[in-house]
Amino acid sequence: MSSNDPTGSTPKHNTGKSGRKSVKSRSLYTKVKTARGRKLSSTLWLQRQLNDPYVQRARAEGWASRAAFKLIEMDDQYKLLEPGMRVVDLGAAPGGWCQVSAQRTQSTPDDVHVVGIDYLEMINVPGATILQKNFLDDDAPDAIMEALGGHAPDLVLSDMAAPTTGHRKTDHLRTMHLVEVALDFALKVLKPGGAFLSKTFQGGTESNILLDLKKNFNVIKHVKPPASRSDSVELYLLAKGFKGRDANSR
């Protein structure tokens, strides 16, 4: 549910499966003056955005946000996306992860394999079906599966994060609730052998979530891609090798 810098619907450059070229900024450092009525924190955020090489590269290449590079980097390392796979993207706005998923699964408007959902308005992503809807609505899971044509997804992505309150413990608990509901959905719909990738926060994944993951997946990892800012507390929880819906009975 990030909302960083929408720039367009179609990336100008195909990064391919490597996607490993370094992100460097050739522009001079931009310093932002504090304007009347603008808080210092807002000025510092704007200054960081203007000088962030990932933001600059996202604009140049047509990605919806710098977050696209997080998925690119994780996919390059862990091989999450392959041509023909079906993908669900929870908390998809502004659309960067849908763009990467559509490109790397070779999803097209005539043969859509990617479904994104967010209550925020999103860009159009060729090759993806976008649902402007709150994933927490009772009918959201059925709407997603209908958009997939009833096919089980190979990968469930979640970049959902609750709006921050400034109270770290509260923010952590609220985001962990979103991890729980995303995982619950994944366990109900994933294809055997499938994968789950979700944003979480540093500070420890709740023990009940880890137990569910270990019970239902073969490989569990905490991942922090290079595109995730070093001063951010975000991590990504990756689970691969879904054992199937009979795993809970073992």
At 166 the pLDDT is 75
Give this prediction's pTM. Answer: 0.79
Could you confirm whether 33 is annotated as catalytic? no
Task: Note the helical H segments in 3-121.
Answer: 40-51, 53-61, 68-78, 96-105
| DSSP state letter for 95 | S
CB 43 within 8 A of CB 33: yes
Query: How far is Cα 116 from Cα 141, in angstroms, rounded to an integer?
Result: 12
Catalytic residue among 133, 199, 215, 240: 199
Strand partners, 237: 198, 222
**What is the model's pLDDT at position 163?**
77
Amino acid at 74: M
Residue 17 contacts residue 77 (beta carbons within 8 Å): no
Residue 184 has a pLDDT of 97
Q: Is 163 or 238 the better-scoring residue by pLDDT? A: 238
CATH architecture for the domain at 68-249:
3-Layer(aba) Sandwich (3.40)
CA dist 117 → 40, 89, 130, 139 (Å): 33, 6, 6, 12
- Reduce the DSSP state of residue 155 to 3 states and report it: strand
Asked if 128 and 112 touch (Cβ cutoff 8 Å), the reply is yes
| Residue 195, H or E segment | strand 195-201
pLDDT for 79-135, tens place per residue? 999 999 999 999 999 999 999 999 999 999 999 999 999 999 999 999 999 999 999
Cβ neighbours of residue 138 closer than 8 Å, sequence gap 6 or more:
none
Residue 34 pLDDT: 52
Q: Which two tokens stand for residue 235?
A: 């991590």
Residue 10 binned pLDDT confidence (cut-offs 50, 70, 90): low
Query: In this predicted model, what pLDDT tens digit does every residue of 141-184 receive, in sequence order?
Result: 999 999 999 999 999 999 998 877 777 778 778 888 999 999 99
